[in-house]
Structure 1
Amino acid sequence: MKNFTLREANSLLPQIKLLVDEIKEKRKDLYIFLEKYEDELENRQDLLEMMYYKTQIEDLHKEINELIEIIESFGVMVKGIDPFLVDFPSEYQGRKILLCWKEGEEKIEYWHGLYDGFAGRRHVSEMKDKKNNVEI
């Protein structure tokens, strides 16, 4: 598995954001069809309509998963889709960490340990190369 520097991760982010924008559109449609499907399921009025919604949901789910696979092919990990979360494997002071990006953030500004998760995010400004006083 590739380890990303902060610079490498941020340079890959525009490509990931384009794919995430596409996923966001599909996610919005997915929620609409899920709501319609659940309404039909409750009312049990139109079986054909219900089948149509179910097919749309399955197709959107498949399309979203394909886009996620493309994102993960860059060597990153998708950790959530609402909001969209991406972790970039990295290393800091000899230990494995994850540079963390959340949908809506302009650039990667946070990181966390492998097992700390989103709640353990820390700002990248805390990551300094003590010898050269440079951000990693």
Structure 2
Amino acid sequence: MKPVLFTLEEANLLLPRLQEELIKLQLLVQQFEMKFEMLQQLKDNRRSGSRPAGGGSDDPFFELESQLEFMRMEVELAVGNFERKGVLLKMINPGLIDFPSMLNGEEILICWKQGEERASHYHGYDDGFSGRKRFPDAGLTN
């Protein structure tokens, strides 16, 4: 499958929807981490001999582990949604998204970091975020 290539304008038109999806993904990851921490504490308490009140089940962790598995699948689906749009989600927190593009016959990545109003920089595939340069058509604002 040939990768999707974006112009700077197309990247910025897609950005508001991607930002909404990113915020939902960040919240989901935060909830997953909190629930995982809770499970670890419950397991630690059980190992140290203290038992949670009321647990009549053979596996007192089954429900929490099931919720975590479902949340993990939700995270994978959300990450996959970025890929299906042709963008590269490089980091969830803080959000870092790359848009494959071409500039002067060279394959590049238009990059956006959460907190920036719009995508206005790019870097080569091997340069990474630290090699960012201002996109020629990005204008003087931002």
Fold similarity call, TM over 0.5: yes
Give 1:15 deviation, angstroms: 1.2
Bigger CA radius of gyration:
2
Deviation at 1:97, TM superposition (A): 0.7
Shift of 1:7: 0.8
Q: What is the rounded CA distance, in whole Å, between the counterparts of 1:104 and 1:37 in structure 2?
A: 33
SS of 1:63's partner is: helix
Question: What is the percent sequence identity of the aligned residues?
Answer: 33
Query: Which position in structure 2 is the counterpart of 1:79?
Result: 90
Task: Give how far 1:25 is off.
Answer: 1.7
Candidates 16, 19, 24, aligned match of 1:17 = 19
Shift of 1:118: 2.2
Aligned to 1:52: 63
2:116 corresponds in structure 1 to 105
In structure 2, the CA distance between the partners of 1:135 and 1:84, relative to structure 1 (3 Å rule), is closer
List structure 1 runs of 4+ shifted beyond 6 angstroms: none
Residue segments in structure 2 that go unaligned for 5+ positions in a row: 53-58
Structure 1 unaligned regions, length at least 5: 129-133
Q: Please, what TM-score do these two structures have when normalized by structure 1?
A: 0.81
Tell me the equivalent position of 2:6.
4
TM-score, normalised to structure 2, is 0.78
The CA distance in 2 between the partners of 1:90 and 1:100, in whole Å, is: 10
Q: Which has the higher strand share?
A: 1
Rate the CA distance shift 1:18–1:135 in 2: closer, same or farther, 3 A.
closer
- What is the SS of the residue equivalent to 1:97? strand
**What residue in structure 1 maps to residue 35 of structure 2?**
33
Give the number of equivalent residue pairs. Answer: 127
CA RMSD of aligned residues (A): 1.9
Distance 1:17 1:135 in 2: 19
* Distance in 2 separating the partners of 1:15 and 1:52: 33
Query: How many Å apart are 1:135 and its aligned residue?
Result: 4.3
